[in-house]
A and B are shown apart, each in its own frame.
Chain A
Amino acid sequence: MAIDYQPRIVGFLCNWCSYAGADMAGTSRMTYPSNILIIRVPCSGRVDPLLVVKCFEQGADGVLVSGCHPGDCHYAEGNYHARRRFALLRSLLDFLGIEKERLRVEWVSASEGGRFRELVSSFTEEVIRLGPRGEVTVGPQSADP
């Protein structure tokens, strides 16, 4: 494992809960590793497994999907669907040789800034322990319209 390996982590955070929670961590001046690149989505149910797989293929070493606690989804059901999808995706990725620990699914509410900080810190440590995801051999990917 490279000595100066800095993992690249992508986080999909739902606007209403986990993104707000991350915001709270920030405004409260809580520090957490800056390896995570945050993408705000309306709901964890909007996170297409395709997005996660594409992240891994483009060089992400870890992906976090976070939303409202089940039962509290701003859109009532989105996170229930996300929960099913990602349980399945984690086991499929693991089967393909991508450690299931690289895809973390956690529920963080808007008031849980501390919990968000703990989550990102522990996840980043975990991804460092796992090592780089693999050699990135994919070239430029997005097409100009």
Chain B
Amino acid sequence: MMAQFISKKDLLAWLEKLIQERTLIAPARTNDLLLFQLISRVDDIVLNSNTELSPKECFFPATETLFTVRTNEGHTELVAETVDRETVIFGLRPCDAMGIALIDRPFLAEPADTLYGQHRARTILVGLACSQPKGECFCTSLGGGPDDATHLDILLTEVEDGYIVQAVTERGKEILPPVAERELPLPPTPSLEAIPTEGLPEVMKRFFEAPYWSRLADRCLHCNICAYVCPTCYCFDVRDYSTKGTVERVRSWESCQSPGFTRIAGGYDPRPTKGARLRQRFYHKFLYFPEQFGALGCVGCGRCIRACPVNIDIREIISDIQRMGAKGGA
């Protein structure tokens, strides 16, 4: 088929140009970790694997000041934060692009989150198709795929001496580098293990009271790792900090796994047990989010599987629940 092709050399030149003209974010290595980072040198970009943390932090940072209120001699002013820079995220995998599209739904539903919306409006997504998905990847079981261009502005697919370039949106077309038309076959789509996600929300409804959750939670540490590495988890805490006439409203990541996450004034906690908290994460992903926003809240990127220190494996949980469902009962 006729495809648009860019050589590796031309791609590097294009990335150099992006570094000059905009803010370029791409995977880079720090202390044995691969993280999405601000790029100042093209050589720092590493594309052979997906990152430890998802790119949601480009739109929903771990910590963000929402606004500041200053009082000066009786005069009060509110200074809202705004996002000024034009950003390009390069090297995004299709699963992560789908993750962004999924958290768009809660963040951009009316009333839309201003800062998230600004980050989104000023960011172009240039994706990279996966030629070697990891063993834990299961994006195809969640409506995605290793070469799915759907939620990107541009998708690059690696071929022998360069990349096939697909401009998906108008925004993508606007910044497209110079490409050559070439007769090239698209590389075959890698195949992934199938995880039984069919009909999952309906099955979840039947097992809310099952002892399965507290047994599973026995080994859970109730840290925040799974939620923080996840492209589709989006819980946060908001607090005001003040000192001498200045108040700053700060938003930071939080997670339903944290003990005390749901504790309310007076000390009552509707999820006081480990089992209740662990159950919540999977119910949110596989029942509540689908009910509210029409899609499962997981993209099959496999990060939580790799990162969990005690091997709480979301694929195992999905299979267990489906098996319990097939047996009947509850």
Contact = CB atoms under 8 A, between A and B. Distances in A.
Nearest to B248: A140
B252 interface: no
A140 B246 contact: yes
From DSSP, what is the main secondary structure of chain A's interface residues?
loop
A142 interface: yes
B268 interface: no
A100 B248 CA distance: 33
A64 B246 CA distance: 29
Contacts, number: 21
Interface string B216-249: 0000000000000000000000011111001110
Interface string A125-145: 000000000000001111110
From DSSP, what is the main secondary structure of chain B's interface residues?
strand
Nearest to B65: A139
A140 B69 CA distance: 11
Contacts of A140: 241-243, 246-248
A56 B65 CA distance: 23
Nearest to A144: B242
Contacts of B242: 140, 142-144
A141 B247 CA distance: 10
Contacts of B248: 139-140
A45 B307 CA distance: 42
A76 to B, nearest CB: 37
Nearest to B243: A140
A141 B242 CA distance: 6
Contacts of A143: 239-242
Nearest to A142: B243
A130 to B, nearest CB: 26
A144 B246 CA distance: 11
A52 B67 CA distance: 30
A143 B241 CA distance: 5
Interface in A88-145: 139-144
A103 B240 CA distance: 31
Nearest to B250: A139
Contacts of A141: 241, 243
Interface of A: 139-144
21 contacts: A139-B65, A139-B241, A139-B248, A140-B241, A140-B242, A140-B243, A140-B246, A140-B247, A140-B248, A141-B241, A141-B243, A142-B241, A142-B242, A142-B243, A143-B239, A143-B240, A143-B241, A143-B242, A144-B240, A144-B242, A144-B247
Given A139-B65, A140-B242, A143-B241, 7 more contacts: A140-B241, A140-B246, A141-B241, A141-B243, A142-B241, A143-B240, A144-B247
